[in-house]
Amino acid sequence: MKSDNLKVAIVHDWFDQIDGGSERVAVHIAKLFPEADIFTMLYNEEKFDKYLSKRNIRTSFLQKLPIFIRKNHHLLLPLIPIALKRMDFSEYDLVISSSPAFSKNINTSNKTTHITYCHSPMRFAWDYWPKYLDERELSPLRRAVAKIIIPMIRKWDLKGASGVDHWIANSETVKNRISQYYDIDKVTVINPPVKTSDAPKSNIHKKDFYITLATLASYKRIDLAIMACNLARAKLIVIGDGPQRAELEQIAGDTISFTGFIDTNEKWKFIAEAKALIFPTEEDFGIAPIESLAAGTPVIGYNKGGLTETITDGVTGFMFNQQASESIVVAMEKLESANLNPVNMINQAAKYDSKFFDERFLDFVKKATENA
């Protein structure tokens, strides 16, 4: 089959609340296939029509549920396998699933080639279990229910993984997880597209503040960056929004400010002017750190996961080994006394520019479909 003559569908878990890294990758993939239909369990027109307004969007029955349930994804967990099973891909030659957790588990026929771009095996059920229970501070009853449901979800997830024809991981970290949890060895790594060419080109004067850039959710651990800057009496600008914002504002001292969601130009301005990006979570890959490097801004990051592949300690930033505010402060102190060369950061970021993703991804699809 020639890839330019295929009927194509693209599947992503949901385009509803968070305009995050996996959503941006899914939108980018959709732009590479402008005629493809887009399947998703939930869709928020207000947030995503700016990217996908002219596309054929097909949602699941979950879209018809009351908004309170739709906004609480954990309540949807028992219904997700049903929602994906009901999606019909019988008319498609190629299905590309952009899967931060669930969408790789769709059902396709033997005549359909299924490629998954895996952002990670579902973390709450695999590498983040049972830590997930502790962070969510569930009641004893809900903990007991979760302990019953998660083994069932794992069984379903393993079955879904066996239905994928071709695997792409967004990092070596995720490739290792795929191998560990699904016993799949043939996985190609293609790092996510980052528009590094959009970074400010001029030598912008650094100002006296740090930034974080992430969805304000508990697993992003922005609380650690806030507490570190409280301790150090350092200025921190928290860029982004999310369900944990109110809680984070309560622990923030007078040197911390919040922007909420901001437009792209304003985001780049903050990144370029910052002393450093503080990135305290274990990420699958980490797009924000690459954006930071592209603007010549170093990264203070947790020495685990995707950041171990992209940040060089003492050259493009400083890493800390414990997820603790005191460890972040030590890394901040190292940065304050260092003289890092922004050219090294910009050159490192350039390796991840979206043009390389486009070339590698389209070549992968061409080879996979020609051999189908």
**Residue range 252-293, pLDDT digits in tens:** 999 999 999 898 899 999 999 999 999 999 999 999 999 999
Q: Is the distance from CB of 83 to CB of 60 less than 8 angstroms?
A: yes
59: left (phi over 0), alpha (psi -120 to 50) or beta: beta
For residue 3, the model assigns a pLDDT of 54
Rounded to the nearest integer, the mean pLDDT of the chain is 93
Kind and range of the H or E run holding 234: none
Q: How far apart are CA 250 and CA 344, in angstroms?
A: 37
> Which DSSP state fits 277?
E
Query: Which CATH superfamily does the domain covering 196-350 fall into?
Result: Glycogen Phosphorylase B; (3.40.50.2000)
Any bridge partners for residue 9, and if so which? 37, 95
Q: Could you report the per-residue pLDDT of 235-244, keeping only the tens digit for each?
A: 999 999 988 9
pTM: 0.90
For residue 92, the model assigns a pLDDT of 97
The rounded percent of the chain whose pLDDT value lies above 70 is 96
pLDDT band at 135, cuts 50/70/90?
low
Q: How far apart are CA 368 and CA 372, in angstroms?
A: 6
Pinpoint the residues of the chain covered by CATH 3.40.50.2000.
Answer: 3-193+353-370, 196-350
pLDDT band at 73, cuts 50/70/90?
confident
Q: How far apart are CA 181 and CA 179, in angstroms?
A: 6
Residue, of 259 and 219, whose pLDDT is higher = 259
Query: What would the CATH number be for the domain defined by 3-193+353-370?
Result: 3.40.50.2000
For residue 134, the model assigns a pLDDT of 67
Give the mean model confidence (pLDDT) for residues 357-371: 94
Give the mean model confidence (pLDDT) for residues 99-107: 96
Q: How far apart are CA 163 and CA 97, in angstroms?
A: 12
- Whether the per-residue pLDDT at 2 is higher than 60: the answer is no
3-state secondary structure of 206: coil
